[in-house]
Amino acid sequence: MRPLNKSRLPSLTFPSVEYGARETPWNLGVFLYRGGAGARLDKVEKLIADGILGRPDRSRIDLVTKMHEELNGDLLSGGSRTTARTRITALRDFFAWADRTGSDLTLEGVVETYLAWTDSLVWRTRSKSVSALYFDQKRPAKGACAISEHSAYTRGAVVGALLDRILHSGAKLVRRTRLSAPVKRKGAVGVEAEKQNLASTMTFGHLLQDTCDGLPLEVVMEATPPIRLILRDGRTISLPGRASRKICQERGVLRDRHPLINVRIEAELHMFIGQTGMNLEQAYNLELREFTYLSHLDGYLVKERKARRGGDVLFEIYKDYRPHFSRYLDWRRKLLSDAKRVFPFICINGRRPDAQFQGHRMRAICKQVGIAYISPGTLRSTRVNWLLRRSGDPELTAEMAQHTIKVLLPVYARPSLQRAMSETIQFWGKFDPCVVREPASGPGVCVGRPEAQSSIPASAPHPDCRKPSGCLWCVNHRDVDSQDYVWLLATFRYLKIFELHASRGRPGDSDALPALHVIDRLGEKLRWFETSNAKRHDWFIDALERVEQADFHPEWRHTINALEGRT
């Protein structure tokens, strides 16, 4: 058979996509041929060239061309390669089914074909095995096995969304189908299960740390594989490698020791995600820059040194992680100085450097020692839920996790029995009339009956739950570690100073003037906040500036305004 001349067909390839040496480039042109979508990727071009699939169906050109324009446009505008591959895979399934059933694949008839295809997906979710008669074959066609509801809905939604954009349809096509997204109800996590989840995560974290510590530069470059690392619990893991010590360089990467190098990079990537909460794809493709660290609460905001003042924060890390991260960057620069990414896996045998991350190296190590493997997504979810429990603030947690509350709560937050029990106890502790206690009359909180401290000055106000000043020398009085409380202390101190001046007191009358003792006591508390740490120091400065500007705490604002004659 004479080979087909394809010179007049439109180009439906993706030149902007990087492929591995052994990877078949994407080409939607195969969809123009009946049977092309269902053929093997590495064989279909030869089948077309040899004319085995016949001539292209030109009635499909408009539809396939528009699909290509949408997919290629997304890629050129920075869209995800993984997303594009998912869409093309779903389209292959759609076109292969249409080829088997002889369905219409024109712009005018594609909707009817799509609805019939989604019906077949629904039917496949309800069948343990697919009848060969449905496909008019002696045996089920390839890809015609039963599938899950989630898989069916995902395929239908992906193709439907692409058709919506091509046809400019008002309503979503997937809503016209019988496909339904399975609702995953999140059951409450019991106390023991929650503890076990955290324990498994900690054990996996220790494994990551031991793996990173066991692969310094000298071990990676000089030790004879296989390398045996002793973990902190005494167990041993065996790491792969090549026996030859000769190091050859090709295209700027080390090939001889790539198994050991990739193991550490994979462990470091898992640890980085657990520490920063960054999305896997973002972390995997994060480019190496000259990082600068800005102190922030109990950690650092990491920016690019060359960025202008006030530039975007690349990520945030805890202060204890910074030395480890710096050691890794130094190790990585010495081995892979020409690589652009922070986690530059060495890929050989034609594999793309940005191939989809599978975590197979750490999975194998976990299997060796019988430890549960924690995926990057689970690490991120565990971190989010830990932050949510510690802070109790969904907005703050969403900001730290780089999400909105609408995404955080339904997708990441897991119902916690332990947290529910704690919140219930706190609620009834505040509102149950049988256990509720009288609030402190002065600044701070009260956890018991009035009882004077042994160090109280003779002329200082004694605690009686009526005079606010008396709370300052009460055994059961408690300070509050918050910015609002520091503002309250500064405002109360201003009030007592004003009262002292109003009474025209003299320094020699200190023993007879309880206000002086109160002022000194409040000054001691404020000085503690000033010198405790940077965060509390900022609270102290902010409180003084507010008081100086007559911005008083609401607890004492009306009293001060009345004494000073302001309305």
- Residues 290-306: pLDDT tens digits? 898 888 767 888 888 76
Instruction: Answer yes or no: are the C-beta atoms of 443 and 488 closer than 8 Å.
Output: yes
Confidence of residue 419 (pLDDT cuts 50, 70, 90): low
For the residues of 497-558, what is the DSSP string, one character each? Answer: HHHHHHTT--GGGGGG-HHHHHHHHHHHHHHHHHHH-HHHHHHHHHHHHHHHTT---HHHHH
Taking 90 as the threshold, does the pLDDT of residue 99 lie above it?
yes
**pLDDT value at position 134?**
44
Average pLDDT over the chain, rounded to whole? 81
Taking 70 as the threshold, does the pLDDT of residue 538 lie above it?
yes
Lookup result for tokens 């001046």? 501
Taking 60 as the threshold, does the pLDDT of residue 136 lie above it?
no
For the residues of 430-469, what is the DSSP string, one character each? Answer: HH-TTT--PPPSSSSEE-SS--B-TT--TTSPPP-SS-GG
Mean pLDDT of 396-418: 57
**pLDDT value at position 412?**
56
Global confidence as pTM: 0.56
360 token code pair: 């197979």
How far, in whole angstroms, is CA 100 from its chain's centroid? 42
Closest CA to 216 of 315, 91, 332, 67: 332
**pLDDT value at position 222?**
84
**pLDDT value at position 561?**
85
What one-character DSSP code corresponds to residue 294? Answer: E
β-strands 477-478, 445-446: how paired? antiparallel
**pLDDT value at position 471?**
84
Q: Which of 354-363, 511-520, 545-554 has the highest mean pLDDT?
A: 545-554
Range with the lowest mean pLDDT among 187-196, 470-479, 518-527? Answer: 187-196
7 token code pair: 């010179």
Confidence of residue 311 (pLDDT cuts 50, 70, 90): low
